[in-house]
Homo-oligomer: A and B are copies of this chain.
Amino acid sequence: MTDGPTGDDRVVVALDVGGTGMKCALVRPDGSVLHAERHPTDAGRGPDAVVETVLAVAEGLADRARAAGSTPVACGVAVPGVVDEAAGVAVWSANVGFRDVPLRTLVGARLGLPAALGHDVRVGGIAEARLGAGRDARHVLFVAIGTGIAAAHVVAGSAAVGAHGAAGEIGHILVRPDGPRCGCGRPGCLEAVSSASAVARRYAELAGSAASAADVAGRAAAGEELAGRVWREAVEALADGLATGQALYDVDTMVIGGGLARAGGQLLDPLRAALRERMTFHREPRLVAAALGDEAGCLGAALLALDSLERR
Q: Taking beta carbons and an 8 Å cutoff, which residues of A are in contact with B?
A: 82, 137-139, 151, 153, 155, 160-170, 172-177, 184-186, 240, 243-245, 247-252, 278, 280-283, 285
Contacts and interface: CB of A to CB of B under 8 A. Distances in A.
Contacts of A155: 160
List 7 tightest A-B contacts by C-beta distance, closest first. Answer: A162-B250, A139-B163, A167-B250, A184-B280, A173-B244, A169-B247, A163-B252
A164 B250 contact: yes
Given A248-B248, A249-B248, A278-B186, A283 B166 contact: yes
Summarize A's interface: helix, strand, loop or mixed. Answer: loop
A249 B162 contact: yes
A104 B293 CA distance: 44
A166 B82 CA distance: 29
Contact of A173 (B184, B248, B251): B248
A167 B244 CA distance: 11
Contacts of A139: 162-163
Contacts of A186: 278, 280
B280 A170 contact: no
A243 B163 contact: no
B251 A162 contact: yes
A165 to B, nearest CB: 8
A303 B244 CA distance: 29
30 contacts: A138-B163, A139-B163, A151-B248, A153-B248, A155-B160, A160-B249, A162-B250, A163-B250, A163-B252, A163-B285, A166-B282, A166-B283, A167-B248, A168-B250, A169-B247, A169-B248, A169-B282, A170-B247, A173-B243, A173-B244, A173-B247, A174-B240, A174-B244, A176-B177, A177-B240, A185-B280, A186-B278, A186-B280, A244-B244, A245-B248
A2 B204 CA distance: 67
Given A163-B139, A244-B174, A281 B250 contact: no
Contacts of A138: 163
